[in-house]
Chain A
Amino acid sequence: MPSPDPENTEVEVDEPRQGLLDSITQHLGDAVVASHLAPGRELWVRVETSAWPEAASVLQRRLGYRFFDWLSAIDWMESPYGRSMDAEVDKELGLVETEASEAETVAPTGADGYAGGESRMQVLARVHSIDAQLGVTLKADVPDMSIGTWTNTFPGAEWHEREACEMFGINFEGHPGLRPLYLPSDFQGNPMRKDYPLLARIIKPWPGIVDVEPMPEASDQGASTTNPEAAS
């Protein structure tokens, strides 16, 4: 896992993003929990769950990050259904890790995501500044499935939050109307959670699972086998 703190990246120090990171930490103080900087690529900042709406207004009003790119969520739990495309031959090829032993399954967290994370669900958002040509991805943990809304600073976040709410089950306090966006109103469950089964893959058996049967013995199989003498 790339080390989270940017200091020890040898030569490439990305001034603009480094400056941005410093100004964010300077404005938000200890609300900034962790950060990750991929030089020349992107800056990730993780803020306290409570400071989520405040981070938005700081970025928009003080730092001039007025372009609202997108807002979504991520469920860090490993999918219990796996690829449902596993055949014995895959195990020999080492494509599929053998079953993890039961004891090891610890509560899923965003720890191995950039800028870490403690809760299973995380909210992601990205804002961009057109004059500085820089963007920043903000993250926040959502331990109790509820977080503040961004709609009063970025009105565009309304639909994004409605989608995240119906797909992941995260409640956004203060959102004008958390109606379902895509799913029919009587839909049960949150599809994007990893423990929600993808039914198409479970109903139909995987055609790749059929393995080539072993050679039929040269007994009374009849025409289907070519006995060795006749073949030469």
Chain B
Amino acid sequence: MTEVTDRRQLAYIAAQASEARINVELEAEGMTLNIGPQHPATHGTLRIVARLDGEQVMDAEPMMGYMHRGYEKLAEVRTYPQVTALVNRIDWLGSFANEVPFILAAEQLMEVEAPPRAQWIRTILFEMARIANLTLFLGDMGVQLGAVTPVFYAFRDREHVLNQIEAATGGRFHPNFDRIGGVKDDLPAGWIQQTRQSLDKIRSFCDQMEDLLLGNAIFEQRTRGVGVIPADVAQAYGLSGANIRASGVDWDLRRDNPTETGLVYDQVDWKVWTHPDGDSFARYWVRLQEVRESCSIVDQLLGSIPKGPIMAKVPRIIKVPAGEAYVATENPLGIMGYYVVSKGGLEPFRVKIRSASFSNMSITPWLLKGTYVPDVITILASLYFILGDIDR
């Protein structure tokens, strides 16, 4: 494992970053290049208007809204179960992870707590959504840099995780499995044993990625020192998840969020991975370790599922008492939070969706200034955003 600590490497990175900043001052009339909305490097329909001087980007401004579905408006005319079915379409790669914070916010307002078995199942599926999401990133980063083979390994091994999610919830991409007060159904027989096999496949996939990409000198040259984000700038823009941990900030809501009662991360011993550099290589490395960490979390949880019911006492027609609640969880892409305001009716009065990729992307105008065109693609790939998450 390539642990970068020596000062020489950090000095090299700092020099690279400052050199890129200086030569952007030359105000020549450049060429405007539209990257997107129909472009292989944007995960969905994002358009970046970049003003180029030769190959160097003078300034880049992402244009969004091609996939704006207006979730916050829709949520105001839907009942709580309907919103859960709707809301797992925001980050469609790790979609169970979208439902959990909304349900936790509603449970907080209704003063209801899910029984332990339901919390265990909820945490297991939450981590499997993270594995499914980040496995695709590990493969996709390769294809953005030109290596076509890793992404096929990613899809091949991710398929087993999706099959397990489908076996338990019924839907591969949109499980709609979380309910206020617990989960919809229990795990089918033999599920735990099959899930363990799919986790072994993911672990061997991580080792393959380590050999194929991390060890590859070309990959290292393309990603080290590219898109360096210092910790304080990351915080000012609200970056979250692996992006901020790769800049050296040791912060993970799964461990540091006391108010959360819905997930059982305190029953499992696991480690939060950080990296001092803050460049694209660090973001890739942190996410690779996080996938391995999630595999071990799911393994421990599978071994200790308590007996008991999977649904608390909740009335059939759910009317959430008036009040406001904000719950945020550590989703695969970063922090996703729901600010639910309820006036006691069948539907929420207002749902503010704090999505991770929206804030992660808000740093790109600052970050892409002075980079080369191929580096724009590397940085976008390493920030790892999903368009549904940005446009909501």
Rounded to whole Å, the gap between the CB of A201 and the closest CB of chain B is 6
Rounded to whole Å, the gap between the CB of B267 and the closest CB of chain A is 20
Across the interface, A156 reaches (CB within 8 A) one of B237, B251, B257, B391, namely: B237
Q: Are A83 and B346 in contact (CB under 8 A)?
A: yes
Contacting residues of chain A (1-33) with chain B, CB-CB under 8 angstroms: 1-2
Q: Are A133 and B258 in contact (CB under 8 A)?
A: yes
Q: Are A181 and B64 in contact (CB under 8 A)?
A: yes
Q: Which residues of A contact B256 (CB under 8 A)?
A: 133
Q: Are A137 and B326 in contact (CB under 8 A)?
A: yes
Contacting residues of chain A (119-166) with chain B, CB-CB under 8 angstroms: 124, 126, 130, 133, 137, 154-156, 158-160
Q: At the interface, yes or no: A113 with Cβ under 8 Å from chain B?
A: yes
The B interface is mostly helix, strand or loop, or mixed, namely: mixed
Most A-side CB within 10 Å, residue of B65, B258, B322: B65
Across the interface, A159 reaches (CB within 8 A) one of B68, B257, B322, B362, namely: B362
Q: Are A95 and B317 in contact (CB under 8 A)?
A: yes
Q: Are B363 and A156 in contact (CB under 8 A)?
A: yes
Q: Which residues of B contact A95 (CB under 8 A)?
A: 317, 346
Q: Which residues of B contact A218 (CB under 8 A)?
A: none
Q: Which residues of A contact B251 (CB under 8 A)?
A: 130
Q: Are A181 and B65 in contact (CB under 8 A)?
A: yes
Across the interface, B337 reaches (CB within 8 A) one of A1, A69, A85, namely: A69
Q: At the interface, yes or no: A112 with Cβ under 8 Å from chain B?
A: yes
Q: Which residues of B contact A68 (CB under 8 A)?
A: 235-238, 359
Across the interface, A84 reaches (CB within 8 A) one of B74, B77, B324, namely: B77
Q: Which residues of B contact A126 (CB under 8 A)?
A: 326, 339, 354
Contacting residues of chain A (42-88) with chain B, CB-CB under 8 angstroms: 42, 44, 66-70, 72, 74-75, 79, 83-85
Q: Which residues of B contact A79 (CB under 8 A)?
A: 76-77
Q: Are A2 and B323 in contact (CB under 8 A)?
A: yes
Q: At the interface, yes or no: A169 with Cβ under 8 Å from chain B?
A: no
Across the interface, A114 reaches (CB within 8 A) one of B324, B343, B346, namely: B324
Q: Mark B41-82, 1 if CB is under 8 A from A, else 0.
A: 000000000000000000000001100101011101100000
Across the interface, B236 reaches (CB within 8 A) one of A66, A180, A181, A198, namely: A66
**Chain A positions near chain B (C-beta within 8 angstroms):** 1-2, 40-42, 44, 66-70, 72, 74-75, 79, 83-85, 93, 95, 112-114, 124, 126, 130, 133, 137, 154-156, 158-160, 167, 180-184, 191-192, 194, 196, 198, 201
The 4 closest A-B pairs by CB, nearest first: A182-B65, A156-B237, A182-B68, A70-B354
